[in-house]
Amino acid sequence: MSPPATYKAPLRELRFVLNDLLGIDEEMKALRLPEPLVREDIDALMEDMAAFAEEVLAPLNQSADREGCTWRDGEVATPGGFKAAYDMFRGKGWAGLGAAIEHGGRAWPTVLTHLVTELIGSANHSWLMYHSISRGGYECIRANGTPAQQAAYVPHLASGAWTSSMCITEREAGTDVGLLRTVAVPQPDGSYRLTGLKRMVTAAEHDLADNIVHLVLARIEDAPEGARGLSLFIVPRHLPGAAERNGVRCEGLEDKMGIRGTPTCWLRLDGARGELLNTAGNGLVAMFVMMNIARLATGMQGVNQAEAAYQLARDHARTRLQGRGFGGARVPEPRPAADPLIVHADVRRMLLVQKAWTEGSRALAYWLALQVDRSKLHPEPSVRREADELVSLLTPVLKAFATDNGYASTTLAQQVMGGWGYLDDSGVHQYLRDVRVGQIYEGANGIQGQDLLGRKILGDGGARLRRFLDVVHQVLEKNEAHPVLQPWVAQTRTLCVRLDALARQLIARAPSHPNQVGASGHSCLRIVGVLALAWQWIGMASIAQRRIDVQQSDAFDVAKVATARFYFAHLFPEVEQHLLVAAQDDDAVMALDADFF
């Protein structure tokens, strides 16, 4: 049998990334924060949140998956224990951890609010979704709302008393939102009446909060067709100060593969009263405040599910006895009848793939979150501008690369566990189902590849990409003389040169090959992702190796360097295939007639 599904917060890993890799103390001093943050504050939060994740949320994960949410007469009941956990979360003030102080929050920067996404998401992905969506709703209204709208909604979202939802998808309108049919009719008092049916709306109805503020993408009556005719509206379940319900009703729940503890709703708008957010026809711009936050959080969801699955697979491999290892297994005497799985080379390979992807993606996720903070809170305009360019370039990379690898890693975790991993009660079965949605929602991963290549690389002639390559080179130059790191530095430097050449080639070709972005986008994203993690692994390995050099290390540092070695030997070579594929023109993809598929 496999060990029971449990979760242990990787606090040593998190401290390494925040303190050693990012230098969080100095970074916090450099930002214009309303209140100073010191390491003791961060440690206290991390430990308290880890205990909440391990002791409160993790025990609810499998039961919530089995129980799911229950719909009845337009109302939704969440799984047992969710409401009590939500009240506890609110009571600790964590719902407003990143919200402004004037709204009742604590104004912690994004790099630290990411701890919520990782720790709580690893323990219970479904439960996290209620808070994660609301965080985006808060920021969207804060960025786009009038003073009156902010006063009416933002403090309630910051406290967690109210939650929010993002209502975009319809039966005929998914990625192509310009096809949606929900209509908003102007009223004499300046409000709107919205009519339509939204599908796949996360947490649009539940029993955790007093009110739900729906942000609805719709077309004002007689507005132009397509995306340019869309506007964004605030449509609360209950209008502020009103006891009666607004004209919005959950008509049912989607029957879905994973995150079953989160309701994914059919939401009927039947003359629901709403307020225009931002200006008419500017709906996509307003919505993307929420979408960009969601994409960064989704990338971290790939990390947190991979981490939880890896822990299960690692513990299984340590305790499950199967066969004899080749070449003499390192098992203490007296040897049991069989060796633990972890002595077998192929099992170690699968675990190392998970470890390398997860730890590398975690480092990238927190670094990118720090760039979000620098783009908003650093006093120097040039630093803010550079950070904003890096966030723009790498957000689609993190979203797609971390979720693709998160799913692949979770699949490997199941493979390590063999037949036990195929059983529902193993735990890994659920992680595999829960992580899968990250590749689909908040912009499918194929769209992220096209965004990276089409908008971010071709769109500015490769300027943002070259800026990122400059950042990578700074780390390479600091480490090129170290004998352990030098081969990895050389590999990474060569890839930088080849990527730059590829980008120039595609920039020149794209005007005459309209499908080049679609044909090459996926491979370009994989190349940039592998490069980004190589850069992070060199940074992490340099810290660990230098402690080893001066005999101030422990097993953690030894493992870091060994995992970096595995990354460059086994995972980095992926780029060879993608460099070849991305350089091909679009003819091989487009030549086959649609009727022949």
For residue 130 the two structure tokens come to 């209620």
Residue 226 is classified by DSSP as: S
- The reported pLDDT for the residue numbered 324 is 86
Could you report the average pLDDT of every consecutive run of 10 residues in the chain (597 residues)?
75 98 97 93 96 98 97 97 98 96 96 95 98 95 97 97 96 87 96 97 97 97 93 96 92 97 98 96 90 91 97 96 75 76 96 98 98 97 97 98 98 96 92 96 95 97 98 98 98 98 97 96 98 98 97 95 98 98 95 94
d(CA 433, CA 413): 13
- The reported pLDDT for the residue numbered 335 is 72
Q: How many CB atoms lie within 10 A of CB 44?
A: 10
Task: Check if the beta carbon of residue 321 is closer than 8 Å to that of residue 306.
Answer: no
- The reported pLDDT for the residue numbered 4 is 60
Phi, psi of 16 (to 5 degrees): -60, -45
d(CA 575, CA 592): 27
d(CA 418, CA 182): 47
Q: How many CB atoms lie within 10 A of CB 242?
A: 10
d(CA 133, CA 140): 11
Task: Check if the beta carbon of residue 234 is closer than 8 Å to that of residue 274.
Answer: yes
Nearest one of 348, 281, 288, 363 to 318, comparing CA atoms: 348
- The reported pLDDT for the residue numbered 176 is 86
d(CA 5, CA 316): 10
> How many residues belong to the chain?
597
- Maximum distance among all alpha carbons in the chain? 85
> Is 442 assigned a catalytic role?
yes
* 594 CB-near residues (< 8 Å, 6+ apart): none
User: Apex CA 397: angle with CA 393 and CA 403, to 5°?
Assistant: 155
Task: Check if the beta carbon of residue 182 is closer than 8 Å to that of residue 218.
Answer: yes
- CA 510 remoteness from chain centre: 30
- Residue for token digits 């081969």? 487
How many CA atoms lie less than 13 Å away from 536 in the CB half-sphere?
26
Q: How many CB atoms lie within 10 A of CB 345?
A: 10
Task: Check if the beta carbon of residue 163 is closer than 8 Å to that of residue 127.
Answer: no
Beta bridge partners of 191: none
- The reported pLDDT for the residue numbered 308 is 98
Catalytic residue among 54, 333, 442, 576: 442
Residue 34 preceded by cis peptide, ω within 30: no
Q: Are strands 183-186 and 211-220 parallel, antiparallel or unpaired?
A: parallel
- Residue for token digits 């493979």? 415
Beta bridge partners of 77: 70
* 6 CB-near residues (< 8 Å, 6+ apart): 54, 58, 311
Task: Check if the beta carbon of residue 265 is closer than 8 Å to that of residue 254.
Answer: yes
Q: Which amino acid would we find at residue 340? A: P
Q: Are strands 162-167 and 75-77 parallel, antiparallel or unpaired?
A: unpaired
Beta bridge partners of 192: 186, 274
d(CA 162, CA 157): 5
Task: Check if the beta carbon of residue 413 is closer than 8 Å to that of residue 430.
Answer: no
d(CA 319, CA 240): 56
* 427 CB-near residues (< 8 Å, 6+ apart): 2, 4, 5, 61, 62, 312
d(CA 337, CA 340): 10
Nearest one of 183, 187, 191 to 223, comparing CA atoms: 183
